[in-house]
Amino acid sequence: MLKKTRKCRMFKLNTRFSYYFGGAKMKKRSLLGDYLRKLRIEAGYEQMDIHADGVITQSRISRIESGKALPSTDDLRYLSYKYGFTLFHIEKVLNEPNQNLDPYQFETKEHIRAEIEAALLKDEFKKLDDFYRQAISIRLFTHSYEEAFLERVQGILQMELYGDYEQAYHHLNNARKTSEQIRQKEKMAEALNSIGILYIHQHQFEKAKNALLEAQQAIKTLPQNYSHQVQQIHTRILYNLSIVFYHLENFRESIQYSYQSKHLSQNSMGSLLIGEATYQNGLSHYYTGNQEVAQTQFNQAIMLFEVYEKPLYKTHTQKKLIDLKLKKPNLP
């Protein structure tokens, strides 16, 4: 019954598209194209990322977004899966011909989103808090996947800035549930990764392992040629798994995940995460008896932290070399 109802709605929606396709309703088609383009950008995809899945060609995406073509039922099903929208969102666009898609508001939102992503990447939590408050105040993050995104940010802030682990879990779990409901696997993986980090903070390493393995499984369900953004998420998950297995004293697994993280981060991340993965690799090698390899890994990590201008990371690694009775490198 549910499938039949959904099919009927899709038919009605397509009928409405056909009605608006020509004549005086061309503006409506353009509005729909603009809306789909903005949903794509807000979801973090380039046109080539969508094309890479092999479902819709880039030329067709371009024609739809420019208002030169209407999406088919199959197009809508696929795009709703990728972008996380529902038929209600599309119907809202069609039913509101005077809807104002303010370019300034859109650019403001994109700027805030970019700043939040940058702060998350660099663990700059005070900056993250500032831009999170801006995001809340402008009230432009209204889609389900945007709400999930802000829930995750709030969870991270509660965990890293305020130390309220109960509230952190509440927000992160809400982000996970919302992402799962709208079938956004990469967003669900992000939320699960953050939950894994929360458990690491609480030294609940078995729970952390389960959350991170679930996050990794969510990533594996995506097409292999996934986007740069998803690659970054996967890199973080692998790195956090290396930490968890290290604390569980499964050093061989830790080495495996840190190597994978380091390899993937060379394509998707900066020197900081490569340095972190290299450091973790050194620790695991040390505790499996490979002191020479461990020292090499620590030295590489120190140089990477130097490149990334992270003196605290560098000092910590140098201290670890002394603590483990390994030779401290002569670096500037």
Select from 101, 118, 138 the last residue of a domain.
101
Picking from 76, 101, 126, the residue at the C-terminal end of a domain is: 101
Domain that holds residue 56: 2-101
Predicted local distance difference test score (pLDDT) of residue 97: 40
The reply to whether 129 falls in a domain is: no
Tell me what pLDDT residue 303 has: 83
CATH number for 307: 1.25.40.10
Residue 28 belongs to a domain: yes
Residues 6+ apart with CB under 8 A from 230: 186, 189, 219, 222
Domain-located, residue 284 = yes
Query: What amino acid occupies position 59?
Result: S
**Number of folded domains in the chain?**
2
Asked if residue 95 is part of any domain, the answer here is yes
Q: Would residue 93 count as lying in a domain?
A: yes
pLDDT of residue 293: 87
User: How do residues 245-286 score in pLDDT, each as one tens digit?
Assistant: 988 999 889 888 888 887 877 655 555 677 787 888 888 888
**Band of the pLDDT at 91, cuts 50, 70, 90?**
low
Average pLDDT estimate for 35-57: 83
What is the spatial distance between Cα 49 and Cα 57, in angstroms, rounded to a whole number? 10
Helix count and strand count (H, E) for the chain: 17, 0
- Select, from the ranges 22-26, 67-71, 323-327, the one with the highest average predicted confidence (pLDDT): 67-71
Nearest to 244 by CA among 221, 228, 261: 261
Residue 279 lies in a domain: yes
Domain C-terminal end among 45, 73, 101: 101
Which pLDDT value is given to residue 4?
A: 41
Here the CATH number for the domain that contains residue 22 is 1.10.260.40
Contact status, residue 70 vs residue 21, Cβ threshold 8 Å:
yes
Residue 209 lies in a domain: no
Q: How many CA atoms lie within 13 A of 177 on its CB side?
A: 7
The answer to whether position 15 is within a domain reads: yes
| The 3-state secondary structure of 26-71, one letter per residue | HHHHHHHHHHHHHHHHHCCCCHHHHHHCCCCCHHHHHHHHCCCCCC
Q: Measured between alpha carbons, how far is residue 238 from residues 77, 113, 176, 257, 280 in Å?
A: 31, 24, 19, 5, 11
